[in-house]
Amino acid sequence: MKEITLVDLQTSVRDTSAFNRLQDYYQLCKAFLVLMQKMQPTRIISPTHNNYMFYQYNEDYGYRITRPLNTNLFIESENEFNTAFQRFMSFLADLKQHQDAILNQEGARGYIETAEINRVVYTVQQSIGSIGDSFENPNQSRKRVGQLFEVLVKLIIQEVGLECEPRTISIPIPGYPGYEMSYELDLVFSRNKAIVAAETRFIHETEIVGSVKTTSKDRIDKVFLDKYLLTKLLGREVPVIAVFLHDVQRAKAGNSIFGINSTFKSNHFLGYTVALNRLDGVYYVDPRPEMLANARLREQIKDFQTFLVQDLWRLSVR
C-alpha cells in the first residue's frame, strides 16, 4: 500500500469535491499527524510566546514554515487525537438530543469542563492550514484553507441538528428602484427550516447570519458593517455573529523570525461597537489573552465552545 505523502495531502486540500462530512476532516487531520510523526519536521518554539511552535518542513518542501500552532490547543499525538475526536462526535450527538439542556447532563458537564471541543476544532483546522503552508506558493491554498474552515463550522452546526448553509442574497436599496446590493453570507442558521417570504428579503426573522473567518485581520470591519447595513436595508434587527479561528501571526522579534504578534485590533473592535453596533456574538477557537483580561472585550468575545454549547441555542430561539 502506497504511503501517504505531503503532496497527497496537498491534493486533498485542493479537492473542491471533498470535505462533505466531519469524518473527511478527521481522516485528513489523522493523516497529517501520522505524517508529521514519520517526517519529523523541525519543531521551533517561539521565543516570545513559548506555547506557540512552528513546523519547518524538509528540503523537499523548500524548508517552508507553518503558521504558529498553539501547543495548548494543538494535539500532536495521533492516538490522542483519535480518542479526542471520538469523544467530540459523541458529545455532538448528545448536544443534538439535549440542546440547551446539555448542561443539566452530568457526563456532558465533565466533558465541557475539559474544553476539548476547542482543541479538536483547532487541531483539525490548523492541520489543514499547515498543509496549506507547505505549498510552493501560499496563495495557492490561502483561500481554500479559509473555505474549509467555513465548511467545518457549518458541518458542526448541522451535526447538532440545526439548519445551516451559506447564502447569497440581493437586497433592494430603499428609494432606488431597480438597484440591489448583493451579499454573500458565509452561514445562515436556524433551529427550523424557515419559509422565506418576499418581505423577509431572504433572511427570515428566525435566522442568524454568521461570518466565519480564520482571522479577524482585515475583516473585522466588514462584519460590523454587514450587520449595520443588513439591519438598515431590511428595516429590522438582523442578528449577526462572527466565528474566528485565531488572531496571531509570525513576526520578527530581535534576531528571531519566530516571534508571535496579535492581529486583533481591540481599539477598532470597540470603536465599531460604539460607532455602528454590537455584534450578537464573537467567538474564537484560540482567543487572545487580552480578550479574557479586558472586561469590555470579555463582555462580547467568548470561545467557540461557549458558542456551541450555550449561545447557539440562545440565539436560535427566535
Sketch the domain layout of the chain as residue ranges: 6-158, 162-315
- At 23-55, the pLDDT tens digits run 999 999 999 999 999 999 999 999 999 999 999
pLDDT value at residue 72: 97
Spatial distance between the Cα atoms of 142 and 129, rounded to a whole number of angstroms: 8
pLDDT value at residue 198: 45
Reported as a pLDDT band with limits 50, 70 and 90, residue 192 is confident
Whole-Å CA distances, 78 to 35, 81, 124, 215, 241? 10, 5, 12, 26, 33
109-114: which pairs have CB atoms within 8 A and are 24 or more residues apart?
111/87, 112/305, 112/309
b or e along 82-120 (b: 16 or more beta carbons within 10 Å of the residue's beta carbon)?
eebbeebeebbeebeeebeebeebeebeebbeeebbbbb
Q: Is the pLDDT of residue 239 over 50?
A: yes
**94 close to 277: Cβ distance less than 8 angstroms:** no
Closest among 201, 206, 175 to 189, alpha carbons compared: 206
Q: Is the pLDDT of residue 202 over 80?
A: no
Residue 272: all three cell numbers together:
465599531
pLDDT value at residue 182: 87
* Spatial strand order in the sheet of 69-70: 42-45, 52-56, 69-70
If you average pLDDT over residues 158-181, what whole number do you get? 91
Q: Is the pLDDT of residue 1 over 60?
A: no
Burial (CB count <10 Å: 0-12, 13-18, 19+), residue 263:
middle
- At 62-83, the pLDDT tens digits run 999 999 999 999 999 999 999 9
Reported as a pLDDT band with limits 50, 70 and 90, residue 253 is confident
If you average pLDDT over residues 144-161, what whole number do you get? 97
What length does the chain have?
A: 318
Q: Is the pLDDT of residue 279 over 90?
A: yes
